[in-house]
């Protein structure tokens, strides 16, 4: 077990890429089967489905980029507005601090503290008089020191930025090819795996593979449908509240809401920043936050069990432990992959006789 955990930790780039590719393959496999009904060979059907999926992703990226361009044009206005709100909040906190100090600290103690603070300044002024220096010059004045540094070459800057994400981009570039080969060679791989077993074991392995595919597909598609519903509902609410860039903020808030444990804060941040950046009444901002909380509560407590929970039966304790374990191994991406990985493990346990007690342990 220790060796397996070490392998998962040090090989996280490989395993994350492989798991993400497998999840996309499970999602796109029904579409490949649909195209194959038109008597199109499986490799050509897989290529057609992947190109169509990449085209859809590109179209969504273009729409998001156009929204981001408009947002970047208004960024100076947003920055000044947020700075203004920050200054007002700081002034209020300072006023509360002063009033609290005036209420709690006795007047004599404050006068003694002021006298202690004035003594070093008076001693410094006396030394300046003896030295013939101006007394009224700022005590904390610091002479400006100009440091001349050689400009950093542009290539070094670009390399420093790209090198931080090179490994992730390299692994990401394998995903489309892995998905294509998983889809085009799925039948060959499935038959080859089944030929390794005999009799009842072959039946259990085939059923396990089907169970893993069904559970993964149900979880991902269920979350996508729920995120789409939340995106449309959030965008409509933000439009009614006249939140700027509601078409971009709505999907962000909707899909952020599905993140395990941190979904609600992530869902509130985009509309809150967008609403605070323009002159808005406090009651309107508070109402907006309450509506986002209500959408999150309805989706996660009423819709999620019906859309996702009826297919992925995991008890809350196992989900919590899985989130802690996979996030400790793989960070943020582990937090997102924890539930589908655990569901896949449960799918295997449910279809293997000797592992069914573990499946019941993981289930609800």
pLDDT at 2: 92
Per-residue pLDDT, averaged over 301-309, amounts to 73
Q: Which are the contacts of 76, defined by CB distance < 8 A and separation ≥ 6? A: none
Kindly state the DSSP code that residue 27 receives in the 8-state scheme. H
**Spatial distance between the Cα atoms of 171 and 183, rounded to a whole number of angstroms:** 19
Number of neighbouring beta carbons within 10 Å of residue 121: 10
Residue with tokens 């519903």: 229
Contact between 307 and 226 (Cβ < 8 Å): yes
25-71 pLDDT tens trace: 888 888 888 888 888 888 899 899 999 988 988 888 887 777 666 66
Going by C-alpha positions, the residue among 75, 37, 121, 130 that lies closest to residue 244 is 75
**In this model, does residue 103 exceed pLDDT 60?**
yes
The tokens for 185 are 């060679």
pLDDT per residue over 62-80, tens digit each? 877 776 666 666 666 666 6
């Amino acid at each position: 077990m220790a060796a397996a955990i070490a392998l998962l930790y040090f090989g996280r780039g490989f395993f994350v890429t492989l798991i993400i590719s497998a999840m996309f393959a499970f999602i796109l496999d029904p579409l490949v089967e649909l195209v194959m009904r038109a008597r199109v060979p499986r490799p050509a059907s897989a290529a057609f489905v992947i190109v169509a999926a990449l085209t859809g992703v590109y179209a969504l990226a273009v729409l998001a980029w156009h929204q981001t361009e408009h947002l970047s044009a208004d960024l100076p206005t947003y920055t000044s507005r947020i700075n203004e709100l920050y200054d007002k909040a700081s002034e209020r906190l300072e006023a509360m601090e002063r009033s609290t100090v005036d209420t709690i600290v006795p007047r004599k103690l404050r006068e003694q503290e002021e006298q202690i603070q004035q003594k070093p300044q008076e001693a410094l002024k006396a030394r300046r008089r003896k030295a013939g220096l101006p007394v009224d010059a700022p005590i904390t004045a610091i002479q400006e020191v100009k440091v001349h540094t050689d400009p950093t070459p542009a290539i070094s800057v670009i390399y420093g930025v790209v090198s931080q994400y090179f490994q992730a981009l390299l692994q990401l570039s394998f995903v489309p090819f892995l998905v294509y080969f998983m889809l085009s060679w799925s039948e060959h791989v499935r038959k080859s795996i089944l030929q390794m077993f005999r009799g009842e074991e072959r039946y259990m392995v085939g059923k396990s593979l089907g169970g893993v595919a069904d559970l993964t597909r149900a979880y991902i598609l269920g979350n996508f449908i729920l995120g789409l519903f939340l995106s449309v509902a959030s965008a409509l609410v933000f439009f009614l509240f006249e939140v700027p860039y509601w078409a971009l903020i709505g999907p962000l808030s909707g899909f952020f809401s599905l993140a395990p444990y941190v979904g609600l804060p992530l869902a509130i941040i985009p509309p809150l920043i967008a609403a605070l950046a323009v002159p808005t009444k406090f009651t309107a901002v508070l109402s907006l936050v309450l509506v986002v909380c209500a959408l999150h509560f309805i989706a996660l407590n009423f819709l999620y069990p019906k859309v996702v929970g009826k297919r992925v039966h995991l008890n809350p304790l196992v989900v919590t432990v899985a989130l802690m374990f996979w996030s400790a191994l793989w960070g943020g991406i582990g937090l997102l992959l924890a539930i589908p990985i655990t569901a896949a493990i449960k799918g295997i346990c449910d279809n293997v006789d000797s592992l069914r007690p573990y499946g019941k342990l993981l289930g609800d």
